[in-house]
Amino acid sequence: MHFDIFTLFPEVFTPYIAVSIIARARERGLAEIHLHNIRDWATDRHHVVDDEPYGGGGGMVMKPEPVFAAVESVLGSPPRAPVILLTPQGRLFTQAVARELAAFPRLALLCGRYEGVDERVRQHLVTDEISIGDYVLTGGELAALVVLDAVTRLLPGVLGDPDAPAKDSHANGLLEHPHYTRPPVFRGWEVPEVLRSGDHARIARWRHEQSLRRTWERRPDLLARAPLSEEDHALIARWEAERRADRG
C-alpha cells in the first residue's frame, strides 16, 4: 500500500510511523508512507494557505489552490488514487471501511485544518470523506493516523499471524474476552482457574461466554449484527431473565 498524506503538519506523523507495526510494515516494503506539506505548494511570498470565509462568520478556510496543486502534482490530474478527506462531515470510520480501503493499492489522505477546506476541494478533488467519530478534533491529522494504522495492520503480511485480522474484536462482531498473563496471583488477585486448567475446549467456551457477556453488558448495539448460535441466544435469554429478577 502506498499512502500519500497531505497536511500542514507533517511532523505530527513522523514519530508514530517510526515505531511498532507501522515501522515494520514500512521496513518490509508492505507500506510506503509519503508526507507532503501543503504549504510547499503555496506560491505567494508568505506561503499563505488559509483565507477568510466568503459571507463572513469568522474562522479561516483552507485555500483551494495549494491543495489542488499538492494533490495533482503528486497523484496527477485526475488523481490516480482515491483522495480521502478527513472531515467531521464524513462517513463514520469502521472496521468495514478499513477493510474496504485496504483493498486499494494507493490512498491519498487529505487533512483539513481551521474551519475546513474550500468546498471546491470537496466537490472536484476529493472522492471520499471520512470522520472517525462524533467528537471535535482540531484537524484531520489524528484521524488520518487512525485510518493509516487501521488499514496498515490489515495488509497481507503485516501481522505475524495471517489469521489475526479474522480474530479481531469487531471481525466476529463481539468484544474481546479478558486477557491474563503471569504471575498467577498478583496482590492476591487470581487468574481464573479455567485458564490454567489446560482444558482447551473449556477455555474456548469460557472465553466465548465472556465475550458474549461483555458485549451484552457494554455494547448491546453490536449484538444485533453478530452471528449468534442457539446457545448464545439461550445464554442471553438467561442473563435477561436474571436482570429482570434483580430489578425485582
Is residue 153 annotated as part of the catalytic site, yes or no?
yes
Going from the C-alpha of 64 to that of each of 49, 50, 79, 212, 214, the distances in angstroms are 8, 9, 15, 49, 47
What cell does 233 get?
A: 441466544
Is residue 82 annotated as part of the catalytic site, yes or no?
no
Residue whose CB is less far from ligand 9D3, 87 or 152: 87
# chain residues binding ligand 9D3, by CB under 6 A: 16
Of 72, 128, 168, 209, the active-site residue reads 168
Q: Is-contact 60 117, C-beta < 8 A? A: no
Residue whose CB is less far from ligand 9D3, 8 or 174: 8
Query: Is residue 224 helix, strand or coil?
Result: coil
Should residue 55 be labelled a site residue for ligand 9D3 when binding is judged by CB under 6 A? no
Query: Which residues ranging from 86 to 145 are in contact with ligand 9D3 (CB under 6 A)?
Result: 86-88, 112, 115-116, 131-133, 135-140, 143
Least separation in angstroms between residue 123's CB and ligand 9D3 is 18
Least separation in angstroms between residue 221's CB and ligand 9D3 is 19
DSSP 29: T
What's the chain's length in residues?
Answer: 248
Cis bond leading into 79, ω under 30°?
no
Least separation in angstroms between residue 15's CB and ligand 9D3 is 20
Sign of CA dihedral 150, 155, 104, 28: positive
Of 44, 115, 231, 242, the active-site residue reads 115
Of 39, 53, 88, 106, the active-site residue reads 88
Residue whose CB is less far from ligand 9D3, 43 or 138: 138
3-state secondary structure 154-194: CCCCCCCCCCHHHHCCCCCCCCCCCCCCCCCEECCEECCHH
Residue whose CB is less far from ligand 9D3, 36 or 177: 36
Least separation in angstroms between residue 87's CB and ligand 9D3 is 5
Instruction: Say how many C-beta atoms besides its own lie within 10 A of residue 144's C-beta.
Output: 25
Residue whose CB is less far from ligand 9D3, 137 or 226: 137
Is residue 227 annotated as part of the catalytic site, yes or no?
no
Q: Distance between CA atoms of 245 and 85, rounded to whole angstroms?
A: 50
Is residue 168 annotated as part of the catalytic site, yes or no?
yes
Least separation in angstroms between residue 89's CB and ligand 9D3 is 9
Query: Which residues ranging from 67 to 86 are in contact with ligand 9D3 (CB under 6 A)?
Result: 86
**Phi-psi bin for 222: left (phi > 0), alpha (psi -120 to 50), beta?**
alpha
* Residues of this chain that bind ligand 9D3 (CB under 6 A): 86-88, 112, 115-116, 131-133, 135-140, 143
Catalytic residues: 88, 115, 153, 168
